[in-house]
Amino acid sequence: MLNEIDLSRADLNLLVLFETVIGERHVGRAAMRLNLSPSAVSHGLGRLRQLLNDPLFLRTPKGVVPTTRAMELAEPIADILVRVRNVVSTAEPFDPATSTRRFTIGAPDGVSAVVVHPLLAELERIAPRIDIGVRQILPTPSRVWLAAIADLEARGMDIVLVPSDDIPPRFEKRLIYEESFVIAMRAGHPFAADPTIERYCEMRHLVVSESGDPHGFVDEHLAKQGCTRRIALTVPNFMFALAVIAETDLISALPKRFVAMHAARFGVQSLDAPLPLPDFRLNAVAPKVAMLDAGLAWLFCMLGKPAESGQKNAAAGRQQRPLS
């Protein structure tokens, strides 16, 4: 990437600057993360543009957008910085009991609502000074979870949790849990007394859709059986969905584990779907090169443990208060 002449005037901090700006997509937020002034970040970007002979970031009303060249550089620069961090960290081996690191995890809210609580309980027990940031990620209409994977590769996040097995080979993948869908509704809903597919199609439905698109995967499976349904409401996240169906006659297909953990406090019950719905595998994903970071590799392995604990807790909760 850099020839010998460039290396004589290169500053490693400029690569850190590049990594932060491409992750934040905003000069001001990058400055806050780096404890610099926005003018210092702008000056650094000017030096980077000269060094790499490319504009790198184009200004927009909402921040900055990386150029094609910047996106091409994101992976090799992330690779360089991971290796440098790994070399530096060998001077002081990662110890979760004393580490004060902060990690960022990206996940859909229906997943983070399942994983984060048991993860925090485990961190409080064995790594009390480690902090976690959670970013909500969403599928895009045409590329599904690839936008989240691209953001991960640009080091905008440390690990993402995605319901997909279609992960490029340059990433490490770990199965966290498997999920299926149930039909959730308020306690005492009349549909529970006659949960046939005919009655299901007669109900008013709620769909979780950040974009507001009322067509979901359930509709595709209904269409195979020559059926349709009415989508009376879309909401942007799963927690909001629970709050709404608890106070209305709307019903919704929601992740089973999510419902098992959170429905009781909303007064929501669930039933098996009256039609076959697909299961999905929830995977933790991180760049393989980033796994050279002992701290990140530790967290990556940790993510499976709280999920297993959460499974047991959810099962115990179902025995105390059945949801279906």
**Residues of CATH 3.40.190.10 domain(s) within the chain?**
102-178+280-320, 181-272
CB 256 within 8 A of CB 231: no
Instruction: Give residue-wise pLDDT tens across range 270-292.
Output: 999 999 998 989 999 999 988 88
Q: Work out the pLDDT band at 96, boundaries 50, 70, 90.
A: very high
For residue 188, the one-letter residue type is G
**Integer Cα distance of 200 and 193 in angstroms:** 11
Secondary-structure class of domain 181-272 per CATH: alpha beta
User: Counting runs of H as helices and runs of E as strands, what totals does the chain give?
Assistant: 13, 12
Maximum CA pair distance of the chain?
76
Has residue 316 got a pLDDT over 60?
no
Q: Rounded to an integer, what is the distance from CA 11 to the centroid of its chain?
A: 32
pLDDT score for 164: 87
Pick the CATH number of 4-89 from 3.30.470.10, 1.10.10.10, 2.60.40.10, 3.40.640.10: 1.10.10.10
Q: What is the pLDDT of residue 89?
A: 62
High-pLDDT (> 90) share of the chain, %: 60
Residues 283/174, Cβ–Cβ less than 8 Å: yes
SS3 166: coil
Please tell me the predicted confidence (pLDDT) of residue 158: 92
Which residues are CB-contacts of 219 (< 8 A; sequence separation ≥ 6)?
228, 229
How far is it, in rounded angstroms, from Cα 111 to Cα 116? 8
Report the CATH number of the 102-178+280-320 domain. Answer: 3.40.190.10
Q: Does the pTM of the predicted model rise above 0.85?
A: no
Residue pair 315/307 in contact by the 8 Å Cβ criterion: no
Which residues belong to CATH 1.10.10.10 in the chain? 4-89
134-140 mean pLDDT: 80
Among candidate residues 115, 89, 90, 76, the one with its CA nearest the CA of residue 300: 115
**Which residues lie below 8 Å from residue 92, measured CB to CB, with a gap of 6+?**
none
The reported pLDDT for the residue numbered 60 is 92
184: number of CA atoms within 13 Å, CB side?
A: 31
User: Quick one: pLDDT at residue 226?
Assistant: 93
